Amino acid sequence: DTGVSQDPRHKITKRGQNVTFRCDPISEHNRLYWYRQTLGQGPEFLTYFQNEAQLEKSRLLSDRFSAERPKGSFSTLEIQRTEQGDSAMYLCASSLVVDINNEQFFGPGTRLTVL
Amino acid sequence: AQSVTQPDIHITVSEGASLELRCNYSYGATPYLFWYVQSPGQGLQLLLKYFSGDTLVQGIKGFEAEFKRSQSSFNLRKPSVHWSDAAEYFCAVAAGKAAGNKLTFGGGTRVLVKP
Calculate the average pLDDT of chain A: 93
The reply to whether A49 touches chain B by the CB within 8 Å rule is no
Distance of alpha carbon B84 from the chain centroid? 17
pLDDT surpasses 60 at A1: no
CA A67 to chain centre: 8
B102, A56, A20, A36 alpha-carbon torsion, rounded to 10°: -40
Residues A21-37 have pLDDT tens digits of 999 999 989 999 999 99
The total number of residues shown for chain B amounts to 115
pLDDT confidence tier of residue B28, bands split at 50, 70 and 90: confident
Judge contact between B32 and B93, C-beta under 8 A: yes
Q: How many Cα atoms are found within 13 Å in the side-chain-facing hemisphere of A80?
A: 6
> Which pLDDT band, with edges at 50, 70 and 90, does B110 fall under?
very high
Do the chains contact at B108 and A41, CB–CB below 8 Å?
yes
pLDDT cut 70: percent of chain A above it: 95
A2 touches chain B (CB under 8 A): no
The per-residue pLDDT for range A93-102, each reduced to its tens digit, is 999 877 666 7
Q: How buried is B76 (Cβ within 10 angstroms: 0-12 exposed, 13-18 middle, 19+ buried)?
A: buried
